[in-house]
Amino acid sequence: MKTRLALASALVLTLAACGTTTQNGYTGANPVQRTITNELNTIVFIDHNLNRTDITKTIFGEKVSNTVKVTLDRSGMSNTATGQLEVWTMIRNRTDYDLQIEGKALFFDANQAPLMDESMWRRVYVPANGTAIYKETSLNSQAEYFLVELREGR
């Protein structure tokens, strides 16, 4: 009887500890970044196979695993002579093979309302262990904020 009780207790504890969790109490097998709200004037990876952190609970504690194919070395924004907002970022390939990265920029006005002049997906070729620049300019001179989305080329 005690053996069965011990086995049942061990099974319950094992199953309770085998879940996957991320920040902010979110539970599931999804990366941390999928639960975070995107801020303006940021660059986000919408393809989570490019750059993510997974936190998994095991019976031995938390296991953190990182997937890093690309990182952002630096980024910035400026106004052109005609008043449009220009945004750029330097993408660094952390792999030993060439990558195709696609980027799209969304622009917002002073009230943080979308200007509906989001760009088309633009492909950037990043050599193995090298860098490339993604750059986009708004169509509207009222743009004051941006959000850039990056994904792996398809």
With cut-offs at 50, 70 and 90, classify the pLDDT of residue 78.
very high
With cut-offs at 50, 70 and 90, classify the pLDDT of residue 59.
confident
pLDDT average, residue stretch 88-115: 95
pLDDT digits (tens, 9 = 90+) for 107-129: 999 999 999 888 999 999 999 99
For strand 42-45 and strand 145-152, is the pairing parallel, antiparallel, or unpaired? parallel
Contacting residues for 106 by C-beta, under 8 A, at least 6 apart: 114, 118, 119, 146, 147, 148, 149
Tokens 């069965």 — which residue?
Answer: 4
Which residues sit opposite 76 in a β-bridge?
88
With cut-offs at 50, 70 and 90, classify the pLDDT of residue 24.
very low
With cut-offs at 50, 70 and 90, classify the pLDDT of residue 2.
low
pLDDT average, residue stretch 23-47: 65
In total, how many domains does the chain have?
A: 1
Question: 19 vs 1, 11, 14, 25, CA distance in Å?
Answer: 29, 14, 10, 12
- Using alpha carbons, select from 73, 146, 60 the residue that is nearest to residue 103: 146
CATH number at residue 75: 2.60.40.3230
For residues 65 and 52, what is the distance between their CA atoms, to the nearest angstrom? Answer: 8
pLDDT average, residue stretch 33-50: 80
The pLDDT, as a whole number, for residue 61 is 86
For residue 74, the enclosing domain spans: 2-152
Q: What angle do CA 7, 12, 30 make, to 5 degrees?
A: 140
pTM, to two decimals: 0.72
Query: Does the pLDDT of residue 20 top 50, yes or no?
Result: no
